[in-house]
Amino acid sequence: MAKAHISATNATDKTIRAIDRKRERERRFILNKARDNAEEFAARLTQRLIDREIIELNSVQSVRDVFAAQLKILPEMDEFDLQLKVAPIRTLIQDPNIVSLYLTGYVIEDLINNPAIEDIFGEDIDIYRAIDSVFKILRPQQ
């Protein structure tokens, strides 16, 4: 029986597909976990942004509800819409958490228009770090 020849490109393709599958599983896990615990994460996130003086607001509950709603729709969100939101800040950090990246984009672009928000302070990286400090627990340990 002849031995199947495995070329270098075939092995490379298999490795790349395996890495992509692993990242996709991690991403689905993170998005579902964020949705399942949306209320808790929204409360923590709102408090963290207030504590780090990133947002100034007049209604904590309103902002908390907005974050919870965003976290609940994230897993069902169209891939194009998700990528559109994170595209301007994708290069902010190497190997970002998709939830943190999405919410950073949301804070920068959309939350400022919320009537409960008086002002948003800080640079994009400061906002990302504050948000990621809440959501870094979602990443599976490697």
Domain spans, the chain: 8-138
First vs last C-alpha separation in the chain: 40
Average pLDDT, the chain: 89
- Structure token digits, residue 3: 């031995």
The pTM of the full predicted model, rounded to 2 decimals, is 0.84
- The answer for residues whose C-beta is within 8 angstroms of residue 14's C-beta and 6 or more apart is none
Task: Centre a 10 Å sphere on the Cβ of residue 77 and count the other Cβ atoms it contains.
Answer: 14
Model pLDDT, residue 134: 95
Taken in order 91, 92, 94, 96, is the CA torsion positive or negative? negative
Higher pLDDT, 10 or 24: 24
- Give me the percent of the chain exceeding a pLDDT of 90: 61
Model pLDDT, residue 19: 85
